[in-house]
Structure 1
């Protein structure tokens, strides 16, 4: 007779979120019943392997994988579950698991079903039960899908309403406030605006998308390609026609798709852009660096794709602050104007690491001057002798002169360094003014990236004005 007390039982517990809500298969409930089952069988040695919130669609579950390793290592010789579907819902996976158990001499048990995997008949029976359960689930899934397909063909919209619409029962109706924005988006596409430009325009106008806090070009494109616009909707690979009132006709929708397709083809032919000022321009509002953005439009007169490069503060945009932006053309124009008018000035440039030392010397000078005034006052009030006064004034004068000389020498050195920097700045300005107009965009980018540390600017009446450039 089998000695049940020597069994080492691996209790496998699994529950998905949906099952727990619908059927009450909570982890604690399963553990309590399975522990009681072990006691009733006289199994004293058992260990729980719990996969919470995991589906049984496959065997890639952390605790199940650990259980299988322990079976292979001989730690576990019996597998116990509350019900077969806690272990798997797939006939193929069941075959694999039963073979695995058999290979390492492990027995499978269910607390609520009578299965004996120790015999061929028992293994056949458990496989048939699993096959019937899988067939029932798949058959139910097919019936549900057929019902959903039929509802879709009747014009019932089961998904959340897209931008521009609201749901009334199972039907879509226009959201007139969002509809005006939708028509404006379509109009801008026809005028040549890119999806990037439209997204920026909507963000800057304070218009929120259906979800999230900012628009993306991909969101705009998905919206423009949706047959919802002309009164139909897509269900799988099928278009269900005439389900609701649209914003444009089907012919207008098809024309819109042609514009988008033609633009994407032209864009693919020349997808390389040179961002001259990349990571160099400082936002006047928040101090972060402006991001570079590429957009474009299809020119109507010659069907040529015209590219636009803009610089825009993403930090301000994400925080829903008005973001100052400008095109690369405007920044180039502002740079030329700045370089034509800039006059390098001779100013001592004190390195950051030396500023603290200079401040200490300066404070020392102030302290000595203050001491000398105190000595003079004390001497005038006959609080010290003439000899004491002369000695203190001599000592402080000597210390003061030493500190002043130290500061003067440091400034002289920095002025010499500044002179070198000024000569270099003059060379940069001269070279720029002589060559900028004939350089390619790649060459312009190389100069900016190599010579300029950052650019500060402001914007007045739509014009970019560069206020300061720091060179390397």
Structure 2
């Protein structure tokens, strides 16, 4: 009879959803072996989500601790199958050597070997070689599978882009669809960008409206994070979402963020998970244009001085900067001052009290913009089925690709293939027969002038309006009389203030008459 030995039960799982090799089942086989031999259980070493091809037994969290720090507490290692311990001959040789050096034995509950016998050692070597071969074959199959998946509208795994969620693919695997909650946040980002709001303003609005941040949205229940999840949006997240083609439902491939690019089908067309993106193609183009424009100007908007980039020195034509001075009486006074530049002498007397400058600018704006009407741009959707047609054609290519790689090689598969292709061909005919009408934007007056709008805006909104219109106030002196000139590029004002096209000639002529040679 074998002496009573202390057994360490070992279990490992690479994928926690694999029911056939669940930890509970592995440990149950081990307990049955221990009971049949009259041994006692010294403990359990269970490693979940741990690959035997990447981590040796000594590097695993649970088993590694027993082997390195608690080897005096057990006499024999009991495992369900050898591949739960090792997947390479080298790891097996290292483990066998460790067992011999430390007087330990190794037993498989289902494969009938015991490291304590010569035959058992030979069996272990053969099984380990087979396990290593199986691991290599599995790796090749996985790589081939990933290559095929790149050519299909199937989700390869991982976190979906913000604005989308993972669903079952109609044929097999997973794909994406637009998420009703987070897509509203993305639409708000796009609308505010088109309205020329800064990414800081967009992030603030998203936080105020309570939209989940990407980190919050992707947080899995029960997951352990080293850092706390933030519910405050930041500018970087807004920019990444609005610039990524994934936001329009396109499939991206590449190992890193920098390497990611559009995945294309056999027809050369970009692969899309959804028939249309969160935005129309026209909206997406406008969003990218606004982002590019802001990237070129790089004018600070968040927390900047109210008149920064608007008021200039009329002597050197450089911008004025706000300076706050503390008086001996404890009061603080704000000025706009011409700051000396390298290689340029300081302009004498180019310092102006902020309250005077603000009053001068307000009076000028209220007078010059009093007749300019505010309009709202309204989008009238068109009827364009190009995206749907492309989606149908991509689906037809996908079905053909699936047939080429043998996914329909089963009883009834040919009939299923023909049924799908027939349905897609009929869908394409229906879409081609539908009418086509271009979408358009129309400007409608709100009944308010821009002087009135300027009057109800806060300082940041006023600054954003004037910067977008390109209006600049050049000041030479404030005393004894104000000497200044205003620069107002009429074409830029037209674009910035969204003037109605029907009134453009009259309004621009009026602006030319008002500003005269000061432009």
TM-score after normalising by structure 2: 0.44
TM-score after normalising by structure 1: 0.48
* Structure index of larger Rg: 1
Which protein is richer in helix relative to its size? Answer: 1
